[in-house]
Structure 1
Amino acid sequence: MGEKVAATRFTRADRTRYRQKVRHCLDAFERMLRESRFDSDRPMTGLEIELNLVDDAGNPTMRNAEVLGAIANPDIQTELGQFNIEFNVPPQTLAGTSLVTLEETLRANLNHAEASARGVGAKLMMIGILPTLMNEHLSVDALTANPRYKLLNEQIFAARGEDIWLDIDGDERLRACSDSIAPEAACTSVQCHLQVSPETFAAYWNAAQAIAGVQMAMGANSPFLFGRQLWRETRIALFDQATDTRSEELKAQGVRPRVWFGERWITSVSDLLDENVHYFPALLPICGDEDPLQVLESGGVPSLAELRLHNGTVYRWNRPVYDVVGDLPHLRVENRVLPAGPTVVDMLANAALYYGLVKVLAEDEPPVWSRMSFMMAKENFHAGAKQGIEARMFWPGIGDVPASELVLRQLLPMAAEGLSRLGVDSAVSDRLLGVVEQRCLTYRNGAEWQVETVRALEAEQNLSRQDALRRMALSYTEHMHSNEPVHTWPVG
């Protein structure tokens, strides 16, 4: 999200030209699909992991520029807030023991980054929402000093014409006002990428949508915001509201939100890109000089820069990605559902469940989306976000069932089969899926540990909510570096 931009002001002519360029890009993309110009030989994966920066007391610290300077790793970059950084994991295959190598690499990078951050007075924290974060931390001054973020902030508020109201009703109620998009920076996630062929893209996207609720239930890790206990994965509601470009009147008219689960199963990647172009006006109408059709005519591969930029400002939970690597274009499903943390092994367990399930569901007949309404998938998603591991889910052939029972009886064996089809070593698969199994048996994921710990600190040590959150956050960071899965962490 941190690409630099050159423009700082946009005219009406800029917007007209950008719309035309985006549509030219879409025409070029459709031609590339017809001519089978995509790299799709191997199922490649990649990860992006967003982290928070805290001080010794567990409070957010606005020092990402200093931290990144100390880390000096091009794979670790800025994010929206000055208290955020992002790890970018290069693409790789899943086969064999690659996930073990990935875990070791992530741990080594995290340890190096932590040591570097401590050198400038900061610590790292992998968590969906930093529990010590308060509304007063999230002024426009908290945004990273990158023109792209400033422009996004200006364009979203120009479209809205009014301040952002956060209104989240969970175990407790939160109402707060913001005059910037800084609250979006509170949402830190893990994004799982999967390279697929154009022919199979729709099946993988549909499969990812179908299991999004299960991902929420198993991986929830964001129960607190501004001192209130809200949804088990509050990040979903917060991101939805913090980036909403619609006024109340536009919402009443049924205008679609930019943070979007979607509204139907698809038959082609074109369905998603067409919707993005036709439903959403430009936020950053920046045009390059490339003529994508002319590039195709000359035998080259177009970057489709305008289409990619526009696609990046429509925040689907499963997003289509077009990219070019080594003069070969490819497509990816970017799964943006999961929160960061609690540990590297927990995140890789979440990823293993996702990759295994989508592999089976995308290939098997009859497809799950032919037996399940899209609205039911959306309801599952919100149930998982609100209630976490205690949620109930609908699943074809089973009906309404607790999420933990669905995972234990039906989905874990399916995920193991999917990982086997991907060539993952059985010992690696068993270890990672075993972490998910134990969460189901103990009814404890990151969100449950946070809630149980804060309750214990409030009840047993008579701490205020703020002191309990701060104590919990400091305990969390210690356990995070142990790399012991969260279901094993002691409460309190």
Structure 2
Amino acid sequence: MHLQIEPEDFVASYNWAQAISAPILAVSTNSPMLLGRELWDETRIALFRQSVDTRISGRALRDREPRVTFGRSWVKDSIMEIYKEDISRFPPLISIDITEDSHVALENGQAPKLKALATNNSTVYRWNRPCYGVNGGIPHMRIENRYIPSGPTTEDEIANMALWVGVMLGRPEKWDSASEMMDFNDVRRNFLKAARTGINSQFIWEGREISAQELILNEFIPLAEAGLKKAGVESSDIERYLGIIRRRTHSHTGSQWTVKSFRNLRKTHKNGEARVKLTEAMYANTKSGQTIDSWKVIEPVQKEGGLFRLPVWQVMTSSLITAKSHDPATLVSSVMRWMNIHHMPVENEKGEIIGLLTLSHMDKYYETKTSEAVTVEEIMIKNVRTIDPELSVEEAMKLMKEERIGCLPVVNANGLVGLITAHDMEEQAYGKSV
């Protein structure tokens, strides 16, 4: 999302863009989960920073800025402060062939494209990124908003854009000098709070503590209305899209809907199956044309038939406690009882399954053996039947019946990924809590 800025207003606009990032993000969050785990309300913020972090952990004492950054301070004089800092701090990641001589272009009255600068700028991922470009021979400056997530619907995305653009254009005059309004450290902390807790965040804003809801409803929406009117946007469109933001603030964001719905689904479904149901509901709601504020949170429901047609990975338990072959058997037996575990896989250091323990098997062993100085390797079942996660639950049940066993470790090419038991499938079939 890009907004073109007049060069003489760049410093004030960029600092304002930094200041408003947290409240805008808080009301827009839509990425609270990763691989079936609840994380931040906007997990992208932390995930992207970590995924492209080129710093060396062994040099932790050095204060080095990551390539994904919110920034370190207010801009004082010009866009060149940011470009000079980024060139100084971050070595080039990619190279390109450049045929243009910028000095010659200027001497000929042309605006240079500055491809080297643009290329380096594209590898430093500021959440508010300053951009220089040339369009039709005319140079311009833009601020690229990179923190607002996509979805949940196209209408929601347009509403997010309207809020951001409106607030940007509605900047109060007092914010022409950002450093006099807020400490930059508070602005940066606000941004991280918004990423973690979304619309439930409490911010420091202009020297006072205020909730994200109050800031959006009482200050940002009026600012956005004024800014959009100044830009000549039709009143009906302003009400339409800012109305979505207003209703969302009162009801729930995409992150809140996702987390509440997933937790309800987990009351009657395994993690994998709950994720499938959640995705199905997201797709249906998106197709309905309703914005996120109108989506009903999924309620816990008794499952319909069709369990046996599901792939094993949707029903298996993926949160496993495992043992190693050299573990003391008495300790492992205690752990199984503490955690109410009837089957425990034994794996090696590579994550490969090499055995299986069952409580009944261990009890029978100790009925005839008195020595406690026994390792898991001496007791475990070594010839273990496993199943692929893509096979059906029906095939898993058939295999258990044929082998007269109560569980199957689930294994793919990378090793042990889960465990499916007859008891789990009975609970799933009858819709009981798991």
Report whether the alignment pairs 1:255 with 2:64.
yes
Which residue is 1:361 aligned to?
171
Deviations 1:178-212 (A, max 9, x none): xxxxxxxxxxxxxx101111111111111111011
Secondary structure (helix, strand or coil) at the match of 2:226 reads helix
Contact 1:207 1:369 in 2 (8 A): no
Report whether the alignment pairs 1:230 with 2:36.
no
How far does residue 287 in structure 1 lie from its aligned partner after superposition? 3.4
Which residue is 1:209 aligned to?
18
How far does residue 441 in structure 1 lie from its aligned partner after superposition? 1.3
Report whether the alignment pairs 1:337 with 2:147.
yes
How far does residue 249 in structure 1 lie from its aligned partner after superposition? 2.6
* Amino acid in structure 2 at the alignment position of 1:209: Q
Q: How does 1:316-335 map to 2 (within 5 A)?
A: 316-335=126-145
Deviations 1:123-171 (A, max 9, x none): xxxxxxxxxxxxxxxxxxxxxxxxxxxxxxxxxxxxxxxxxxxxxxxxx
Report whether the alignment pairs 1:304 with 2:114.
yes
> Of residues 458, 476, 479 in structure 1, which corresponds to 2:282?
476
How far does residue 468 in structure 1 lie from its aligned partner after superposition? 0.9
Contact 2:133 2:139 in 1 (8 A): yes
Contact 2:12 2:175 in 1 (8 A): no
Contact 2:285 2:295 in 1 (8 A): yes
Report whether the alignment pairs 1:373 with 2:179.
no
Report whether the alignment pairs 1:448 with 2:256.
yes
- The CA distance in 2 between the partners of 1:485 and 1:370, in whole Å, is 38
Which residue is 2:99 aligned to?
289
How far does residue 343 in structure 1 lie from its aligned partner after superposition? 0.6
Contact 1:215 1:337 in 2 (8 A): no
* Amino acid in structure 1 at the alignment position of 2:288: S
> Of residues 44, 53, 60 in structure 2, which corresponds to 1:244?
53
How far does residue 230 in structure 1 lie from its aligned partner after superposition? 0.4
The percent of aligned pairs where both chains have the same amino acid is 38
Could you tell me the TM-score, scaled by structure 2's length?
0.66
- The CA distance in 2 between the partners of 1:257 and 1:386, in whole Å, is 19
Q: How does 1:88-487 map to 2 (within 5 A)?
A: 192-266=1-75, 267-361=77-171, 363-364=173-174, 367-396=177-206, 399-442=208-251, 444-459=252-267, 462-487=268-293
- The CA distance in 2 between the partners of 1:423 and 1:367, in whole Å, is 26
How far does residue 242 in structure 1 lie from its aligned partner after superposition? 0.1
Paired residue total: 297
How far does residue 482 in structure 1 lie from its aligned partner after superposition? 2.6
Contact 2:266 2:274 in 1 (8 A): yes
- The CA distance in 2 between the partners of 1:365 and 1:316, in whole Å, is 21
Contact 1:361 1:367 in 2 (8 A): no
How far does residue 250 in structure 1 lie from its aligned partner after superposition? 3.5
How far does residue 271 in structure 1 lie from its aligned partner after superposition? 1.2
Contact 2:27 2:253 in 1 (8 A): yes
Secondary structure (helix, strand or coil) at the match of 2:81 reads helix
How far does residue 363 in structure 1 lie from its aligned partner after superposition? 4.7
Which residue is 1:19 aligned to?
none
- The CA distance in 1 between the partners of 2:288 and 2:174, in whole Å, is 38
- The CA distance in 2 between the partners of 1:242 and 1:434, in whole Å, is 36
Contact 1:193 1:335 in 2 (8 A): yes
Contact 2:74 2:178 in 1 (8 A): no
- The CA distance in 2 between the partners of 1:343 and 1:445, in whole Å, is 12
* Amino acid in structure 1 at the alignment position of 2:87: V
Contact 2:186 2:204 in 1 (8 A): yes
Contact 1:231 1:386 in 2 (8 A): yes
Secondary structure (helix, strand or coil) at the match of 2:170 reads helix
Secondary structure (helix, strand or coil) at the match of 1:412 reads helix
- The CA distance in 2 between the partners of 1:380 and 1:458, in whole Å, is 32
How far does residue 366 in structure 1 lie from its aligned partner after superposition? 5.6
* Amino acid in structure 2 at the alignment position of 1:329: P
* Amino acid in structure 1 at the alignment position of 2:112: P
- The CA distance in 1 between the partners of 2:274 and 2:101, in whole Å, is 57
Deviations 1:94-119 (A, max 9, x none): xxxxxxxxxxxxxxxxxxxxxxxxxx
In structure 2, relative to structure 1, the CA distance for the partners of 1:383 and 1:365 (3 Å cut) is closer
* Amino acid in structure 1 at the alignment position of 2:201: A
Deviations 1:50-93 (A, max 9, x none): xxxxxxxxxxxxxxxxxxxxxxxxxxxxxxxxxxxxxxxxxxxx
- The CA distance in 1 between the partners of 2:255 and 2:205, in whole Å, is 23
How far does residue 372 in structure 1 lie from its aligned partner after superposition? 0.6
How far does residue 307 in structure 1 lie from its aligned partner after superposition? 0.6
Secondary structure (helix, strand or coil) at the match of 2:42 reads coil
Contact 1:454 1:469 in 2 (8 A): yes
Contact 1:204 1:362 in 2 (8 A): no
Secondary structure (helix, strand or coil) at the match of 1:434 reads helix
Could you tell me the TM-score, scaled by structure 1's length?
0.59
- RMSD (Å), alpha carbons: 1.4
Secondary structure (helix, strand or coil) at the match of 1:302 reads coil
How far does residue 308 in structure 1 lie from its aligned partner after superposition? 0.3
- The CA distance in 1 between the partners of 2:286 and 2:25, in whole Å, is 20
Q: Can you give the 5+ residue segments of structure 2 that lack an aligned partner in the other structure?
A: 299-434
- The CA distance in 1 between the partners of 2:34 and 2:5, in whole Å, is 36
- The CA distance in 2 between the partners of 1:366 and 1:290, in whole Å, is 36
In structure 2, relative to structure 1, the CA distance for the partners of 1:251 and 1:430 (3 Å cut) is farther
- The CA distance in 1 between the partners of 2:134 and 2:150, in whole Å, is 27
* Amino acid in structure 1 at the alignment position of 2:133: D
